[in-house]
Chains A and B, each alone.
Chain A
């Protein structure tokens, strides 16, 4: 990695648009531009531009004018990267974009690596690591919820929560160290109950953050939903109804959908990934049985299983459907199972309705598009949106989740140690490990400043 050179890249999406923005950052940013930029007036000349200023003029290669552009000038350290930075707004043709980039390369800039602008911002002290990671998420966010979450992390909400965790852990470590280094002092040592209390507080925060990772992961990557049902139960029709477009193949021949198809649906800013599957009906057909195996694999990957059946079939043979539901419940214990009775528009007898409703099935007609709102509502209930919009902290980064998981394990070991009454110096080993694991998110703990400081502040130490 190098930070000494000047990098450039297209900052708007690839392809043609009305305008495009090319970003140039590094010590040579302005001197490179000066070689090619011809300002419309003295006021727009680069050397005299203020720390923040827009300048207007032409980019020329030799005598040839490439484009008329607007350049936003940000002088270091007053820029995103903390370096000299220019954002060139040019016309959006792919040809112009390419010509300008080629020219910049020729004049000494190099193509930026993915994420390099943000990395430079991190190294130049413009943001901490968790904020830098949030920027990457922000750029990748495709929906409202993921966007909200990334914004929150970038603003430091996550760091604040972690600081609270650190404080609890320091309190615990202090109580342990007090018994060790100051056993000769006339101070009151924490009793075991107090220690368990402190430990439980640490565990609660850790667990809460870890649980939020489920939500965070869903918000970032979408909630996987498997649609399961007998052939011709109407799975593809349902999917199409939800998606409002003909993507899955819908025919009247049972078992047409042999390959699992994924489709995404954005409900109130949350992404759902629907996985259409073949049915799970027992079969002699080889292709079909491969499909069934695949179905169970897909179920394993999902969080929610939609089981769809033909309500007419239920009227004829409820036991068959109930057996399938039971089979699914056993296969996918840890998933949320929503049972959908489809094709209710074709039901004649009102008696059946009562029966279906009493089973807590969701009644719908994929073809007539009835009952879909209720289904959407139930799907949304699977995502803890309350936490997000109440500004609770949500862990969305796998690296953070891993560090939290590791430290939770350390804390569990501390608890085991407490249970088996091992001496505090051994407990402290696992506490140190927990601090180390959290260190990658919260920064290291300085024993002197943090733990000893805490002890001296709270207890009268010293002969």
Chain B
């Protein structure tokens, strides 16, 4: 190993390697972190309590969805692994929000839960420089404000230059089902002890969050004829831009059914034993993912709630009852469930439960996801107060990248809010913190028109290549795709279609005729027309064949031309902001005098002395209102 190691080589006969990066936890954040660090050339160890549950989907068996699908595409564009694994283990694909503008199109797959975990494990096993160890990390080794390793419940001390904590819901996890409580990080798995206490000793502020999951049932006991079928897309897409994955040929359907008044009455009988209502749980759960008892309680006027019946895989009979998250006593769950149409004879595999766990308000981090308090220590995923596999995975990826870069003394990669949802997510966490589990929504992104699923590669693959996670093969493919799209765009802009040909297309769509030839781009600007409207126009067919143009090129060119006005305006808005952000702040400014700023902002600005507005904004606790005061003071 390299001689410049500062960490004294404490014997770790057990593992026999000095690790650059130790990742604690093997969930969706942990696997991305470990994979990225190892692929960036760092000796990496993934320590997890159970090597059988790597990349376990602990909630619903699905990846993507609105805003989340965009994140998954971004992970892929940067060179992460989750999108590829999701493609390879998908059992259904749907592009959500097709009827909206292209920024809203959101890919989502239904996944084979067991296959996902297996595929991810195999992917990691194929990664050189990545090792595995099964044990519970119970303590952190910190010297002079710098992390130097971890130690485990078996007493193994593992020296490391960087440590990434991705503990998910395991830190002092407490599971509730009715009035029963037991320690655990997931159904059937132990909780993790020691790390929270150690971090609090080091000066970290800790908080408590709550989330929940619905029961899983035996699909053989359900009557699907009483439910609505929800099929996958006729022409399924996929997440990864790479050619390593393919689109689905066959798919499995989901089913929709509804609760009713009888179900609600049956649930209410258990309310006195509900940990949500009897005070056993007082931590914050997400408002957008309430348990079914909270739905009934808060929205009493609604006499039914939607239930999605989601298969857990190609082969398994286990079924996930999405929409029925609950922590009521198991017998209440069973009674209520059997009152739902199609569930009359339902057999429960595992009851739903609520779980409380520790998190650390993410305002204690830098944008690189390194903690402000301890050098070399990074947090990613639910430990930062987020929820969702995609949210966790993208943080893991960024923490892995930045830990590796920090060893090489390279600048941290920080994505801008106008560059990626990942940038929005991390910036929100650090600037605003979060009191409830944070999930991504498109409305959180002020520049969502440019943060689309179709152009994630355009936005981020050059960065991924520069970082070193995109290999030469993919880089070549990307460049080829870009040049084809650009060529096609120019062709649409410059190619005139004869009057009669144009009118044939217009007539088919019931549109009024034109009286002279015109550019195809002009026609594409009409809301009713798309590239598909011209697919049997011979000159286009010839161009597509000659240049081997693919569907993705057609789609991208169409979006670029059709929405050019909106996209241009959004880009202008983003660049206006970046000009404002580059304004420099006078040296030696005494913030303590600006009392219309919050006290916290004054203190932090005074201490950190940002040199421009962008840096000032990046400081957690400095609100947009504080920035306005600063701008007024600077005479803007």
* Contacts from A to B (Cβ < 8 Å): 1, 3-4, 77, 82, 122-125, 128-129, 177, 179-186, 420-426, 428-429, 432-433, 439, 443-444, 446-448, 451-452, 456, 460-463
Contact = CB atoms under 8 A, between A and B. Distances in A.
Interface in B430-463: 432, 441-444, 446, 448-449
A451 B441 CA distance: 11
Contacts of A122: 596, 632
B97 A183 contact: yes
Contact of B322 (A128, A129, A439, A463): A463
A447 B444 contact: yes
A463 B323 contact: yes
Interface stretch (B16-24, B287-295, B553-561, B607-615): B287-295
A463 B595 contact: no
A183 B625 contact: no
Interface stretch (B79-87, B124-132, B184-192, B298-306): B298-306
B180 interface: no
Contact of B66 (A128, A181, A423, A448): A181
A300 B171 CA distance: 75
Contacts of A128: 596
Interface of B: 60, 65-67, 96-97, 99-101, 103-104, 286-290, 295, 298-299, 302, 305-306, 308, 322-323, 325, 428, 432, 441-444, 446, 448-449, 527, 566, 569-570, 573, 590, 593-596, 624-625, 628-629, 632-633, 635
A451 B443 contact: yes
A182 B60 CA distance: 17
Residue from B441, B443, B527 whose CB has the most chain A CB atoms within 10 Å: B443
Given A124-B595, A447-B444, A456-B287, A1 B635 contact: yes
9 contacts: A123-B596, A180-B66, A181-B442, A428-B448, A429-B569, A444-B625, A460-B295, A460-B305, A463-B60
A207 B261 CA distance: 46
B443 A428 contact: yes
B624 A462 contact: no
Nearest to B321: A463
A83 B103 CA distance: 51
Nearest to B62: A463
A425 B67 CA distance: 13
Contacts of A423: 99-101, 104
A131 B257 CA distance: 56
B596 to A, nearest CB: 4
A159 B308 CA distance: 46
B262 to A, nearest CB: 18
Contacts of B103: 425
B67 A4 contact: no
A426 B629 contact: no
Given A424-B100, A462-B290, A180 B442 contact: yes
A425 B65 contact: no
Nearest to A457: B287
Contacts of B573: 433
Chain A CB count within 10 A is highest, among B96, B287, B573, B596, for: B596
Given A443-B625, A460-B290, 13 more contacts: A125-B596, A180-B104, A181-B67, A425-B101, A429-B570, A433-B573, A444-B628, A446-B432, A448-B444, A452-B443, A460-B295, A462-B290, A463-B322
A401 B442 CA distance: 32
B308 A463 contact: yes
Nearest to A428: B443
Given A129-B632, A186-B305, A82 B432 contact: no
B100 A183 contact: yes
Given A1-B633, A432-B446, A461 B595 contact: no
A77 B596 CA distance: 13
The 3 closest A-B pairs by CB, nearest first: A186-B306, A423-B101, A456-B287
B624 A425 contact: no
Contact of A447 (B96, B443, B625): B443
Contacts of B322: 463
B298 A123 contact: no
B100 A448 contact: no
Contacts of B99: 423
Contact of B443 (A1, A77, A181): A181
Contact of A425 (B104, B444, B527, B594): B104
B295 A448 contact: no
Contact of A183 (B60, B96, B446): B96
A4 B322 CA distance: 60
Contacts of B446: 432, 447
A432 to B, nearest CB: 6
B590 A4 contact: yes
Given A184-B66, A432-B446, A4 B593 contact: yes
Contacts of A447: 443-444, 446
Nearest to B258: A186
B427 to A, nearest CB: 12
Given A181-B443, A425-B101, A124 B286 contact: no
A129 B286 CA distance: 36
Contacts of A451: 443
A463 B322 CA distance: 6
A384 to B, nearest CB: 32
Contact of B566 (A420, A421, A426, A452): A426
Contacts of B635: 1
A180 B97 contact: yes
A461 to B, nearest CB: 5
Contacts of A446: 432, 624
Contacts of B628: 439, 443-444
A149 B66 CA distance: 49
Contacts of B305: 186, 460
Nearest to A456: B287
Given A82-B595, A125-B595, A463-B308, A180 B100 contact: yes
A460 B293 CA distance: 12
Contacts of B96: 183-184
* Residue among B97, B298, B428, B629 with max Cβ neighbours from chain A (10 Å): B97
A451 B287 CA distance: 13
A432 B306 CA distance: 32
A58 B566 CA distance: 70
A446 B623 CA distance: 10
Contact of B288 (A1, A426, A461): A461
Nearest to B565: A426
